[in-house]
Structure 1
């Protein structure tokens, strides 16, 4: 696969926006000459020109080239590219009328649906960033936090969910599915910049309050409009949309399809039924593990990310499809490394940097490590997002000037541990902090415990990851009501933060150093004696 072809109706491809200059010798002087060469060779993805730097314009080119092609299907309904382009432009005009300007943020509080797509594209056309939340799953406390942090003055939703959106002074709620389909003039107040936000994703924070990450058009186009991130999606191909819209991988499904000219197949209740009719599937390993590839013979391309992928699962799907194992936090635009995995090959890695991106394995002083040594992975290049909304302290902590690229570029501290293999593949070796992935979402266990400790009578709480889909919490003293404790978490945090079980204990076991013995707690949770 090469750079995705676009109709010859727009501007010519743009040059790469990341300049891969050799790092200054002083930065690599402590390495052997061989490792200096490999640091550059392994850590820099290919420099690839892009056919555009605005996501909605990439969609509009597809709509102009094939207006009658089916853009999306959902529960028996369908919409063509021409219809989706027209309806989203009509809504964009309404957003501009409501005062939305380039650089603003618009809430997209919906469930999976065709109106969700109209609202998403309308927001981009108006020059704003969409802020997605699944209105059917997100508690009101989190919706209020998201609205306040993102400064949303307009929230797009569906009529049947409008009453679930918290009231906020000056905030307008628009039911996308009730808008008339009528011609309307649409004109922005200013041009959209590639460095304007395209979406804002909220991730779990150490205090329990999710942090909003701003991902730009440049960031997104760099993944969607190059290979392998474009996943070879083109006209006639069907892409499954099975993930939660508040999860950044859903943007890969949706916008990867619509900028590639495919048909988005939006799931109802049955994931397998949706995947059965799709050519391309993007999922977390946990979701993919619930699907039998034998029941989905049409699937030809699969990409997984969000959590470590078990080798048997990768081998199973790679036997019948082009399988990519990928990695990257929200802050580096969905994924910034990808590996094409072949059955029987070893090891299963997260691959190499995607085009116009870099990955550095550094020590605690941010010095380059020799090839093969374990260190912390830092990401650079066009994947690096714009930072955290309203949190300059956290932005300064996690983003830093990139000394290897220079030129004012920044790199992001992933807090993932990794090392380079001898042939230039990245092995992912866990995280440097205690943050965990549940169902593909990042969760801070201490944030869950903090909510539990607010329950009347609870003195101490510990939350641990039991498996890829569930948390287990321990509270003391023993008379804490476990159901009341679970309800408190459900009321305060997203659904994926709610522990499957809350176990009251008289005391919490300790190690010989006076710390909580987490291994003993997990044995207790599984019913295995010490």
Structure 2
């Protein structure tokens, strides 16, 4: 029995805390939920972008025509179709057309992804067809059949292939910070489970306006896009101005980095906010939670957008990532994959409906990150998140950083997020990032630019051991972002080296 080393109390709490509620998912295929909305309210506005509007009925018809075209090209369930686009209404037509054809979409931002990455994606996902927009036709790698999704297709009824909930809905390529990007195959079952049950559905309903802020190649964009269209809301696709889209929205889904660039005071209509993708600073959470339902969430791409959520109360003693979402589980395990006692730190493993189908063409990584789930039993798998956490006495998960954010400095183990958390407690500091510069030194970055670096450094010295104190604290007006809306740590390290070189001269 995998729990026999625990006390009876910890065995009981392991099951109670670690298992999300069992809830029936109303529709097993996410695009069927959209089709129901299109049939019920064909004249409702599905999307708007830079002054252009598209109704649910017209979006459904255009996606049907594209799906018929894909079927004529030989696309069948189990296939992967590239969606190499920029934020636009044709992006939505392409995404839904691929799903209606029974295939999984493989999204890339054609304006940002370098040619070598597009080549890698085409080869790894074995995409025979790529959808793009006319102005970017020349950027698509040679080999696959290319269709310009912004060109009109002759109407034909959509095919009705036999699609299983265990078929792929999309293939997301992770950022590849530790090597080449890895393709993660996410199924309809996993996607419908998070988007069509609460709290993942975020209470989205007809009349809501969901801002589409994020890169199509980032899995949280699926939360924005399909979360809105499955529930009859209007998707507000941003142009270059993120804040302009946010100002008219009622629902925001973002990374903390993206959200930190939006002023809550300018968004009086926003009633729900969800953040994920990186740790959320407590000041940012408190600020938004005072005016909207603010959900702090966690979960890598491999566990289908997010698998834990918590509505934050600004008066709460802790900012946590909450509990497992419906039909999902979270286990806090030691290095031998045994549950640790409640309240002790371990590595979080995710189980249940959220677990994706695995990496494409990477058996070694699949064996390292996915394992049989001994707690749910035969036929179930769990995923190693590489996130550290512990259960609070109330049964919420406290996120304690990444296993790869635990670094050795002067021979001591340091959790970088712990240093950043102290910096974010300094008055006026909205965001902080701490990085290892070399074997002996840490460097921290804080924003906004008027944070006093000496005060910030003293705060760390008073709260943590000496080896956790950064050699320097650099105030910045803004922290640089990756194309996925996360902190660009490589750019920060380059900036640190440049500034220290100037100081040395």
User: How far off is 1:185 after superposition?
Assistant: 3.4
**Corresponding residue of 2:294:** 323
Query: 2-side partners of 1:523 and 1:372: how far apart?
Result: 42
- Alpha-carbon contact 2:214-2:485 (below 8 Å) kept: no
- Alpha-carbon contact 2:169-2:186 (below 8 Å) kept: yes
- Alpha-carbon contact 1:107-1:131 (below 8 Å) kept: yes
Deviation digits for residues 42-100 of structure 1, max 9, x if unmatched? Answer: 00000001111101111101111111100000000010000000000100000011111
Matches within 5 A, 1:58-457: 58-168=33-143, 171-180=144-153, 182-188=154-160, 190-205=161-176, 208-434=179-405
Q: TM-score, normalised by structure 2?
A: 0.83
Deviation digits for residues 382-422 of structure 1, max 9, x if unmatched? Answer: 00000001111111110000000013100000010000000
| Paired residue secondary structure (1:122) | helix
User: How far off is 1:342 after superposition?
Assistant: 1.1
User: How far off is 1:499 after superposition?
Assistant: 3.9
- Alpha-carbon contact 1:300-1:320 (below 8 Å) kept: yes
Query: 1-side partners of 2:405 and 2:356: how far apart?
Result: 23
Higher relative contact order (CA 8 A, sep 6+): 1
**Corresponding residue of 2:491:** 500
Gaps of at least 5 residues in structure 1 are 1-25, 438-444, 450-459, 470-492, 505-520
**Corresponding residue of 2:14:** 39
User: How far off is 1:205 after superposition?
Assistant: 3.8
Deviation digits for residues 443-497 of structure 1, max 9, x if unmatched? Answer: xx99xx9xxxxxxxxxx9xxx996599xxxxxxxxxxxxxxxxxxxxxxx99987
Query: 2-side partners of 1:79 and 1:413: how far apart?
Result: 41
Query: 1-side partners of 2:485 and 2:501: how far apart?
Result: 25
Query: 1-side partners of 2:443 and 2:54: how far apart?
Result: 41
Query: 2-side partners of 1:365 and 1:465: how far apart?
Result: 33
User: How far off is 1:355 after superposition?
Assistant: 0.3
Query: 1-side partners of 2:177 and 2:219: how far apart?
Result: 19
Query: 1-side partners of 2:28 and 2:446: how far apart?
Result: 36
**Corresponding residue of 2:462:** none
Q: TM-score, normalised by structure 1?
A: 0.79
Query: 2-side partners of 1:95 and 1:193: how far apart?
Result: 19
Deviation digits for residues 20-41 of structure 1, max 9, x if unmatched? Answer: xxxxxx2111111111110010
Alpha carbons of structure 1 residues 465 and 122: separation in structure 2 relative to 1, 3 Å? farther
- Greater shift in the superposed pair: 383-392 or 200-209: 200-209
**Match status 1:48 vs 2:23:** yes
Query: 1-side partners of 2:502 and 2:297: how far apart?
Result: 34
User: How far off is 1:183 after superposition?
Assistant: 2.4
CA RMSD of aligned residues (A): 2.9
Query: 2-side partners of 1:148 and 1:315: how far apart?
Result: 44
Alpha carbons of structure 1 residues 103 and 467: separation in structure 2 relative to 1, 3 Å? farther
Gaps of at least 5 residues in structure 2 are 407-415, 418-434, 448-483
- Greater shift in the superposed pair: 203-212 or 39-48: 203-212
Count residues in correspondence: 442
| Paired residue secondary structure (1:107) | strand
- Alpha-carbon contact 2:371-2:383 (below 8 Å) kept: yes
Alpha carbons of structure 1 residues 231 and 468: separation in structure 2 relative to 1, 3 Å? farther
Query: 1-side partners of 2:127 and 2:253: how far apart?
Result: 29
Alpha carbons of structure 1 residues 466 and 81: separation in structure 2 relative to 1, 3 Å? farther
Alpha carbons of structure 1 residues 525 and 89: separation in structure 2 relative to 1, 3 Å? farther
Alpha carbons of structure 1 residues 61 and 285: separation in structure 2 relative to 1, 3 Å? same
User: How far off is 1:204 after superposition?
Assistant: 3.4
User: How far off is 1:500 after superposition?
Assistant: 2.9
- Alpha-carbon contact 1:142-1:494 (below 8 Å) kept: no
**Corresponding residue of 1:17:** none
Deviation digits for residues 121-152 of structure 1, max 9, x if unmatched? Answer: 00000010000000010000000000000000
| Paired residue secondary structure (2:2) | helix
Query: 2-side partners of 1:289 and 1:53: how far apart?
Result: 35
Query: 2-side partners of 1:468 and 1:89: how far apart?
Result: 49
Alpha carbons of structure 1 residues 497 and 290: separation in structure 2 relative to 1, 3 Å? closer
Deviation digits for residues 218-237 of structure 1, max 9, x if unmatched? Answer: 00000000000000001110
- Alpha-carbon contact 2:255-2:485 (below 8 Å) kept: no
Query: 1-side partners of 2:446 and 2:231: how far apart?
Result: 31
Alpha carbons of structure 1 residues 502 and 399: separation in structure 2 relative to 1, 3 Å? closer
- Alpha-carbon contact 2:255-2:486 (below 8 Å) kept: no
| Paired residue secondary structure (1:82) | helix
Alpha carbons of structure 1 residues 342 and 38: separation in structure 2 relative to 1, 3 Å? same
